[in-house]
Each structure stands twice: as C-alpha cells, then as structure tokens.
Amino acid sequence: MRREAGPGARAGPHPEGPTLAKLRIAHIIVEVPWPPDKGGKVSFLHHLMELSGNPGITTRLVLLDADGDRARYADHFRGMGIDTAVFDRSLPHVNEGFIAGLRGFLSFIGSPKPRICRVRRNRAALEHIRSLMSEGLDAIVYEHISGWELVPPEVVGRIPVVCVTHNVETRVALDQFRFQRASSPLKVFFLGEYLKTLLYEKRMMRKITALISISGNDSEWYSASYPGAKVITTDEQIPERSSSWQGSASGKRLLFIGSHRYFPNLDALRWLAGSLMPALRRLDGGISLSVCGLSGEEAAALGLARDGIDYLGFLPEEDLAGLHCGCDLYVCPIRLGSGIKMKILDALSYGMPVAAVRQSLDGIHVEGPAASLDFGDPAGSARRIAMLLSDRAALGEMSVATLRSLEEYRRSRRRFDEAVMEAAGLGG
C-alpha cells in the first residue's frame, strides 16, 4: 500500500538551475533511513543527501517501510523538499505471530527468491516507478540487491539501472548458513537462502547497467565474479565531529557498539564475552568493556553476562559521542559479513583508537586502526590489547594518525553522486 507522495520539488541547499539541465533520477531505498539509528540507515541517508544535494539532479525518492513502523518519518524528507513516496513491505515479520510465521515458511517453500528480496516486493511501488518513467527518468538507482524487486522489468535497456551494494549478499548468506549450529533446523533454511541469493544475484547482474559498492574489497569480488560487469566504488562519508577522543581517567575502558539481532554482531559479542574479556581480566582486573546495543537483561538471556562488561542498551546520539570520546579503545572482532563496518567509521570520526580483526578493516583506507585481534588466539589478543591500554602515548599516536588521515580522505574521496553519474554513464 502506498502511504502518499510528497511534493515534486528537489532537495539540497543549492538554488534551482535551469529545469531542462537537470537529470531526473529515481532513488529506491529499501528502508526508511530516519532516524539513522543503524549502520545501514546511516549509509542510506548519506547517499540520499549527496545525490539529492547535487544541483544538477532532481531526486525522486521511493522508500519501503521494511521495519513496519517508520512510514511517518518519510515526512522528514518531504520537509526537505524531496519528492517522496513510501510503501509497505509485502510480508509481515515472522515474529508477529503464528500466521506471520506460517506465511514466511510457505513463501520460503514456494518462492525461488531469497527472503530479503521477497519481503520487499510491492505492486504499488512498481506502479509508482512506472508513473515516474512516464513523466521522464534518466536513471534508476536502488540500494541493496532487494531494491531490484521495485524496478519494473520493462525498464531494463531503456534507461540506466544501477544497484548499490553495502555487502556481498551471497557471502553474507553463506556466513549465516555457516554460523548455525550443525544440529539447528535453521541450517537447512539458511542453506536454501544462500542458494537462492546466489541465483538471484547472478540473474540481477546480467541485467543491470552497473553496480556501486561502498567497499573496495567487495568491488574486487564483484569484478572477479562477474567479468565484464561495470563496478564502481564509492567512498563512504565520515562525518566531522565537534568533539574528539580523549580517553578515560582509568585508561582501561573498552567500547563495542552493535545489536545482537544481527548475526555478525552476535558472533563478535560471544567472543568478547566468552574469550577476550576473561583473558583480559586475568591480566588486569581493572579493564572493562562498555557495550551499546543490548541491555543487561538481553545479555543475561543470551548467556553473555560477565564481570567487567557493562551492557548499556540503545543510547541517543549525544550519549554515543560521549562514549566514543570517553573510552580508551574501540574493539571490533566482527569476522562475518562483508562491506564497510560503519561502527568503525563512527569511531574513527572521533579520532578514537581502534583494534580489530583483519576482516573488520577490509575496505577501510584510513590510517590508525590496528589489526590486534585474532579469533583463534584470544590470549594473544588480550596481551596486545593490555599492552596498548598501558601505553597512552601509543594510543595518542593512533588517534593523531587517524585524524590526519581523515583530512586527506575527505579531500580525495569519491562522493556518492559522482559514483552514480559514472556508473550510469551520465557524465558530469
């Protein structure tokens, strides 16, 4: 169901130029990225702001309320003058009750498409895109592979169609299959989802004009997997902050931000609580870890409660700034999934020292972070972290290197609107 469209004006601080000179681009986002309370939504929002802020582009925004409770926030974008339409997801969340779970199971059995794509198909949204085509579009840009569900088939070949990926979804689906315990009945489900995602991606890549990735590593994977495909990398925006990292009085406070509802985060939390923190506390009982994204009650239910770990739940943006500036070291042991770890970019934006596993740093081209964590060696990881915490000068050097590198990154990065123009072959 469509939730009403907004006015047809454009966004951004730039004054209106000659109407005929403007490119008309439909920007499909499979979530409502306001408020930007998760990494994916932050990335969606940054992309939208850079595309709609280009004075040579008129953006027609099409949103899908994948969460089921954010349609009202579309008014935020209408208030900025962005033409906006918002639509419902096609399937309920499986946790909404027995009927919702049954529908989800039947759709899994009966559909060749992965669930992340099935839930985003919406007939009204497809008709809306067709109406935009009849009015004249120069290109369609959609975020996440599931946005392909909102692109009418007849559009292919008529105008450029560009997919923006935040992960390699095939690799994410494979990781999720491997993440399940061997005895879990979900193992079969996620094997099916992996195979469906693999086939879906192959079909999509044959039809789109180009693909934009937010990670250079993912771009290399797509180029190797689909020879001849046009693959462009965009550099994610790292915001400038009014405050910067200082550290704590104790010098022994670690930070991790991430919800357990996303399986790479849960995998990381289990290692932090079950392996790293016990090893660290044996070296120094004063070292503590603050975790934002789940509460103490949720942590206890998951068996993650440990001495020295403080679970803070979800916090507002202003409190997150205080955590980034007031903790001593950000730790990121996320080894699953792909794409850019937005939580690391957030930490770096404050000049905060970062210690991570190698996989968490893939695609991040900012100096400062150290690949100090190793899932297979929690004792060695603990020794390296304890050594860093004991050397205030080394942490300070990491912070200075990060802030200096960020200046160059911001000067030279490829903006999203620039990547779209190149991917769609629209010049400019």
Give tens-digit pLDDT for 241-256.
999 999 999 999 999 9
pLDDT digits (tens, 9 = 90+) for 270-324: 999 999 999 999 999 999 999 999 999 999 999 999 999 999 999 988 899 999 9
Q: Check whether residue 420 and residue 395 sit in a common domain.
A: no
- 32-79 confidence digits (pLDDT tens): 999 887 778 999 999 999 999 999 999 999 999 988 889 999 999 999
Q: Is residue 330 located within the same domain as residue 377? A: yes
Share of the chain above pLDDT 90, in %: 81
Q: Convert the pLDDT of each residue in 350-369 to its tens digit.
A: 999 999 999 999 999 999 99
Are residues 397 and 420 located together in one domain of the fold?
Answer: no
Q: Please tell me the pTM assigned to this model.
A: 0.89
| Per-residue pLDDT, 19 | 43
Residue 12, Ramachandran bin (φ over 0: left; ψ between -120 and 50: alpha; else beta): left
Is residue 75 situated within a structural domain? yes
> 171 to each of 34, 234, 422, how far by Cα in Å?
27, 20, 26
The pLDDT value recorded for residue 111 is 85
Q: Are residues 366 and 349 in the same domain?
A: yes
- 364-397: pLDDT as tens digits: 999 999 999 999 999 999 999 999 999 999 999 9
Q: Is residue 293 part of a domain?
A: yes
Instruction: Name the H helices within 162-209.
Output: 169-179, 186-207
CATH number of the domain that residue 49 is part of:
3.40.50.2000
Q: Is the pLDDT of residue 416 over 80?
A: yes
Residues 317 and 207 in one domain: no
Q: Is pLDDT at 11 greater than 90 in this prediction?
A: no
Q: How many residues does the chain have?
A: 428
Looking at the fold, whether 7 and 94 belong to one and the same domain comes out as: yes
Please count the structural domains in the chain: 2
Tell whether 285 and 352 lie within a shared domain.
yes
Residue 243 lies in a domain: no
- Do 279 and 330 lie in one domain? The reply is yes
E strand spans, 7-82: 23-29, 57-65
Q: What Å distances lie between residue 336 and 27, 171, 374, CA to CA?
A: 29, 9, 13
Q: Looking at the structure, do residues 188 and 154 belong to the same domain, yes or no?
A: yes
| 356 falls within a domain | yes
**What integer pLDDT is reported at residue 3 of this predicted model?**
46
Residue 60 lies in a domain: yes
Mean pLDDT of 12-37: 74
Domain that holds residue 151: 2-237+413-424
The verdict on residue 244 lying in a domain is no
Q: Is residue 246 part of a domain?
A: no
Is residue 31 domain-shared with residue 168, that is, in the same domain? yes
Question: Are 418 and 363 in a shared domain?
Answer: no
Same domain, 262 and 208: no
Contacts made by residues 318-323, CB under 8 angstroms, sequence distance 24+: 320/257, 320/292, 320/346, 321/241, 321/243, 321/350, 323/255, 323/257, 323/290, 323/292
Helix, strand, or coil (residue 161): strand
- Domain assignment present for residue 83? The answer is yes
Task: For 330-340, give one letter per residue: b (16+ CB within 10 A) or e.
Answer: bbbbbbbbbbb
